[in-house]
Amino acid sequence: MYEGFYQLKENPFRLSPDPAFMCMTAQHQEALSGLVYTACTRSGLTVLIGEAGTGKTTLLYSLLGLLAKRRFCTAMCTNPTLTRQEFYDFLMLKFGVDCSSTLKSRQLAALEETLLRNQADGRPSILIVDEAQRLSTELLEEVRLLLNLETPRQKLLEIIVSGQPELGDILNRPDLRHLKQRISCVCRLEPLTIDEVREYIYHRLTRAGLPAQTLFSDVTIALIHQHSRGIPRLVNTLCDGSLRTGFALQARRITPAVVEEACRDLELSAPPPTPQAVELESIVSSLAKNHMPLPNGLHNGQDNGAVADEQIPLQTYAARQKSVSFLGNLMDRWRQ
């Protein structure tokens, strides 16, 4: 509803894991590079860990897009609460294995034959398991055994498991030490810093068709970071709610008052303010007491009228996409 009012071509803060909207911060570039490297070298088991809502699934879909363009054979499991039989049925289906038997021995033999054929055709096979902290001990053991499908030179099946921090605790259990020893790479995603939240918001607005940042001031972004705790999913929810509230109020800019109203609607509790937010609030209060005008980007409270366009002082969407293309070129070189 608000897209037309704010001159946006599409919703910039929808919650679906759309790779086209992924903001490649430094930590996201590092994590994706690690996933790309292990996908190409097929070194074994790779682990991606991050708090809920930090963008793990979006990153995995970005990886899948890169792999698909280079003829990788992939299977992604997004609901790992399966029995062992259901898990193998999933593998047979996703990798196109022709096996009518329900016996595990027959299924494993057919799977190995398919993986060998894929490798001979230059199509590496990769299994990705999202929400892996929900894997049963039984399925974790199956993952370990699947890593035994290999030639003398490389794995036939590269496996990537992604999950919340408790996945790390699970893998550190003594009874899973054999699986832990097979981990070749651990990638991590942390909550965004206030600068990364600013970059994230600007990026998504630019991708949605807004060429200049005029909607969110620095004070507003500091407040969004404070309430969202730097979790991208919560940033999306809060920004979307703020834009809906702003549209209802016919406010041309999203002010801290609008964000607070959106927080109340979403029942988001207010954590202790960040040092950056305290500093910005102090600057605004000092200027107001001395009847001095607020600089661009520090407008607090109600909309004060027309504001000069502030060009995004960060990498644009096109530049961000180049970083993904760079990773794609790396993939081609690693496979040669």
Q: What is the tens place of the pLDDT at every residue in 28-50? A: 999 999 999 999 888 889 999 99
Reference 132, options 174, 91, 76, 195; nearest CA is 76
Which tokens is 121 given?
A: 């055709």
Give residue 245's pLDDT: 92
- Give the residue ranges of DSSP H helices in 215-274: 218-228, 232-249, 256-266
Give residue 308's pLDDT: 35
What average pLDDT score do residues 189-199 get?
94
The pTM of the full predicted model, rounded to 2 decimals, is 0.81
Highest-pLDDT range among 20-34, 181-195, 273-287, 297-311: 181-195
Cα–Cα dist 141/103, whole Å: 17
Give residue 281's pLDDT: 58
Cα–Cα dist 198/215, whole Å: 12
The letter for the amino acid at 22 is M
Look at residue 259 and tell me whether its pLDDT is greater than 50: yes
Give residue 212's pLDDT: 64
Q: What share of the chain has pLDDT > 70, as a percent?
A: 79
Instruction: Name the CATH topology of 192-316.
Output: Helicase, Ruva Protein; domain 3 (1.10.8)
Q: Which residue has 């992939």 as its token pair?
A: 74
Every domain of the chain with CATH number 3.40.50.300 lies at: 26-191
Instruction: Encode pLDDT of 278-293 as tens digits.
Output: 665 565 556 555 555 5
Look at residue 316 and tell me whether its pLDDT is greater than 70: no
Torsion sign, CA atoms 221, 223, 226, 229: negative
Cα–Cα dist 252/246, whole Å: 7
Cα–Cα dist 176/181, whole Å: 9
Give the distance from CA 265 to its chain's centroid: 25
- Give the residue ranges of DSSP H helices in the chain: 26-41, 56-69, 84-94, 104-120, 137-146, 166-171, 177-180, 194-207, 218-228, 232-249, 256-266, 275-289, 317-335
Range with the poorest average pLDDT among 18-27, 158-167, 205-214, 297-306 = 297-306
What architecture does CATH give domain 26-191? Answer: 3-Layer(aba) Sandwich (3.40)
185 compared with 44, residue with greater pLDDT: 185
Look at residue 86 and tell me whether its pLDDT is greater than 70: yes
Give residue 244's pLDDT: 93
Every domain of the chain with CATH number 1.10.8.60 lies at: 192-316
Instruction: Encode pLDDT of 102-146 as tens digits.
Output: 899 999 999 999 999 999 999 999 999 999 999 999 999 999 999
- Neighbouring-strand partners of residue 38: none
Helix axes 317-335, 56-69, angle to 10 degrees: 50
